[in-house]
Amino acid sequence: EPEVTQTPSHQVTQMGQEVILRCVPISNHLYFYWYRQILGQKVEFLVSFYNNEISEKSEIFDDQFSVERPDGSNFTLKIRSTKLEDSAMYFCASTGTETQYFGPGTRLLVL
């Protein structure tokens, strides 16, 4: 069964460093998303992406964040200058015409 994959599974970084989280959505899906879950809190929507552009973003998704689909398979989330409060689990998801399928997540720890 096709699935969304994410790399790395865990990442530790220093405050102020740039990180890139990678996702490979399900191959025939058209919509891609990033969500995050701070420990003990709700899963929060960050951004959705369709037809090579952002279709919706939350107020969390500020200028420090960017997304890209650099080739036909990868979908990335970049955090330019990480802050302590960016520590969270980051989930990628994709949709064809139906529901969102989620990857296993990347746990980001900012020290």
Q: Which of 64, 66, 76, 102 forms a contact with other proteins (CB under 8 A)?
A: 102
Strands (E) in 1-111, as ranges, are: 5-7, 10-13, 19-24, 31-37, 43-50, 53-57, 65-68, 75-79, 88-95, 101-102, 106-110
Of residues 20 and 45, the one with the C-beta less far from other proteins? 45
Q: Does 35 bind other proteins (CB under 8 A)?
A: yes
Largest CA distance in the chain: 39
Stretch that binds other proteins, among 17-25, 33-41, 64-72, 75-83 (CB under 8 A): 33-41
Residues 59-88 that bind other proteins (CB under 8 A): none
Q: Which of 75, 82, 105, 108 forms a contact with other proteins (CB under 8 A)?
A: 105
Q: Which two tokens stand for residue 39?
A: 């420990």
> In 3D, which of 104, 77, 106 has the Cα closest to residue 12?
106
Q: Which of 17, 55, 74, 81 forms a contact with other proteins (CB under 8 A)?
A: 55
Query: Which residues share a beta bridge with 37?
Result: 43, 89
Interacting residues with other proteins (CB under 8 A): 4, 6, 30-31, 33, 35, 41-45, 48, 50, 55-56, 58, 91, 93, 95-105
